[in-house]
Amino acid sequence: MKGSFRTHSGSSTSFFQRFKAPRTATLVLSIVLGTSLLAGCSSGSSEPQVGSAESAANVNKEGFPIVKEKITLSMMGPDVGMQNWKDMPAFQEMEKLSNISFKFENPPLDSFETKKNLVFASGEYPDIFYASSLTQADEVNYGSQGILLPLEDLIDNGYAPNLKKVLDENPAIRKSITTPDGHIYSLPVINQQSIWYRSPMWYNGDFLEALNVKEADLPKTTEELYDLLVRFRDEDPNGNGKKDEIPLASVKLDDVRSWLLGAWGIYGEDIYNDANGKVHFARTEDGYREFLTYMNRLWSEKLLDHETFSQTPDQKKAKGASNQLGLFQDWHAYFTHGGKPTTKDPMFIPVKSDAVDKPAVAIHPGLSTGAFAITESNPAPEASLRWVDYMYSYDGAMLFDKGPEGLIYETVNKEDHTKKWKPLPSEYNSREDYRGTLTPNYGTPAPTLLSPDLQKGLKEDFDLWVDKQNEEKILAYDPQPPFPILYLTPEEQSEISSLRADMDTYIQQMEAKFVTGQEPLSGWDNYLATVKQMGSDRIIEIYQAAYDRWKNS
């Protein structure tokens, strides 16, 4: 009896073993089939019919409410943990105006990317993506599969009058949100307030005061900058009797690189175009070699933080808090110093080398794509588009930037849009905390038009001071965006990704070696040859083609 059991179980094992290989193959096959089936399902139609007579009939083309009969749509967007979206006054007010209500799905900001990919994979899409940071690859990919609806026809047919006006006034924006197949799959954040391509660099005001350097005397050339950094190092500007000053602070050079590269006429740290429409790759330019030489000089004289390549942003910040840093990058200087906003620390003035007449200064393109999209499951694309179009008007942008009138601000002058702050309710620590409970446009890339008018009357002394610094130290230098926002075709995208995988690592390592002197600058030709061999010319070629396509579209 027992024996027969054993034989049985034994034989079943060997049965299994004998068929293990084919079984595995079947498994693999079925997974492959399953996946392709899945992909097949979702790519049903490549040119979907956008909207229908029925969904369009319910929509008013002008004014409010947007729909005659109340509809409910689903929306996915990132939660920053301040307030549930359904309880936000901005959404509630908008629902009253538009007659459109939403069912929200809000994964937290930090896991949004994962959730977004799962949603695309699972085939059950929200009707609307809001503040969703869709990547350009997402748009090209899911757009061509028909999951994201092309919006240009609806825009041109009067369902987005505000946006259309902006696009007509700024053809460059339209070019930048149109994918190579000629469709617009996502709506952008248009930010007319933004200036900084990278957060600026700031001088430590205490150091300057101790050394008696006036703002007007701040360095304007690389040599003057060098001299000032030497003084930071040698003259104990923090006055603690120790030589613990770090003249120039950085984390892996990512923060200071683009500012200093401008001294040699380079607009961006990666791909950029010059005034003649020629595309350059910064890391193979002669100016980049000069930059490396300069940084190596700062390094060897202990002017550049020797922990540059090992420290975290937090560690850099901690040094700032103990008043050790002379020149550093951050959004505002007081983020690094700690404490309250102060106008004591002046902004870095772009410096120039002998090689150029004026420094190259980059400015933010004022646009980021992928903020809003409508999916194929949306029963009312026309209404959805009209809904979001409100965000591109002053009133709508205001509603979603600061919440409904009368909570955090009130209007002083309706004509010129002057406003003033209302007193802060006592349960909130700061105005920003309060704002985070009013609207979803808080630390998220939401579809909107941020015009300078939005802040009118709301700027405090510190903001006005920053504006003035911008005026004098960035806008006065005829800045330009390094490279327009544009889409690559999927083929171009994948070629770039595969070329850059190794190249970027190599470039990063070599930069550190050149700067720290581990590799002498005589090795530059070698470096250049290696990068070229890794395909830098091809990368320039691809971006040149994309740039030309963008320019001529």
Partner 1 sequence: MAAVIKESRSDRIFLLLNYVYLAIALICVLYPLVYIVSASISSPTYVNSGEMWLFPKGITFEGYQRVFENQSIWQGYANTILYTVVGTLVNLLVTIPAAYALSRSDFVGRGFFMAMFLVTMFFSGGLIPTYLLVKNLGLVNTMWALILPGAASVWNIIVARTFFQSTIPKELQEAAHIDGCTNLRLFWKIVIPLSAPIIAVMALFYGVGHWNSYFNALVYLNDESKYPLQMVLRQILVLQEMTGSGIGAATSGEAAMAMNQRADSAALLKYAVIIVSTLPIIAVYPFLQRYFVQGVMIGSVKG
Residues in the site for partner 1, rule: CB under 8 A?
Answer: 2, 5-6, 8-10, 12-13, 15-16, 24, 27, 31, 34-35, 38, 79-81, 105-111, 114-115, 118, 121-122, 124, 189, 191, 193-194, 198-199, 255, 312-315, 317-319, 321-322, 329-332, 335, 338, 368, 430, 432-433, 435-436, 442-445, 450, 463, 466
**Distance of closest approach, residue 465 Cβ to partner 1, in angstroms:** 12
Cβ-based nearer residue to partner 1, 315 or 516: 315
Closest separation in Å from C-beta 29 to partner 1: 13
User: Contact 214/269 with Cβ under 8 angstroms?
Assistant: no
How is residue 79 annotated by DSSP?
Answer: B
Beta strands in 148-258 (DSSP E): 187-191, 201-203, 246-248
**CB of 268: closest distance to partner 1 in angstroms?**
14
Residue 210: Cβ within 10 Å count: 16
CB of 107 to partner 1, least distance (A): 6
Smaller CB distance to partner 1: residue 452 or 517?
A: 452
Q: How far is the CB of 524 from partner 1 (least distance, A)?
A: 28
Min separation Cβ 121 and partner 1, Å = 5
DSSP letter assigned to residue 159: I
Least separation in angstroms between CB 114 and partner 1: 6
CA 402 – CA 456 distance, rounded (Å)? 12
Show Cβ contacts of residue 489 under 8 Å, excluding neighbours closer than 6 positions.
Answer: 140, 180
Q: Per-residue b/e over 31-53, b at no fewer than 16 CB within 10 Å?
A: eeeeeeeeeeebeeeeeeebbee
Report whether 360 contacts 265 (CB < 8 A).
Answer: yes
**Least CB distance to partner 1 at residue 270 (A):** 14
- Shortest separation between residue 282's beta carbon and partner 1, angstroms: 17
For the record, the structure tokens of 474 come out as 């960035």
Task: Between 252 and 302, name the residue whose CB sits nearer to partner 1.
Answer: 252
Residue 319, C-beta contacts closer than 8 angstroms, at least 6 positions apart: 246, 249, 305, 325
Q: Tell me the Cα Rg of the chain.
A: 28
Q: How far is the CB of 251 from partner 1 (least distance, A)?
A: 8
User: By the 8 A CB rule, do 539 and 546 touch?
Assistant: no
Contact status, residue 269 vs residue 262, Cβ threshold 8 Å: no
Residue 254: CB atoms within 10 A of its CB come to 13
- Measured over the CA atoms of residue 440, residue 446, residue 448 and residue 449, the dihedral's sign is positive
Q: How far is the CB of 440 from partner 1 (least distance, A)?
A: 12
Residue 328's H or E segment, with its range, is: strand 325-329
DSSP state of 326: E
Residue type, 84: N
* Distance (Å, whole) CA 40 – CA 157: 31
The residue (of 34 and 277) whose beta carbon lies closer to partner 1 is 34
Cβ proximity of 480 and 363 under 8 Å: yes
* Nearest residue to 516 (alpha-carbon basis) of 302, 282, 287, 241: 302
Nearer to partner 1, 331 or 421 (CB): 331
CA 77 – CA 113 distance, rounded (Å) = 10
For partner 1, give the closer residue by CB, 193 or 526.
Answer: 193
CA atoms within 13 A on the CB side of 302: 8
As measured in angstroms, the least distance from the Cβ of 317 to partner 1 is 7
Are the C-beta atoms of residues 46 and 146 closer than 8 Å to each other? yes
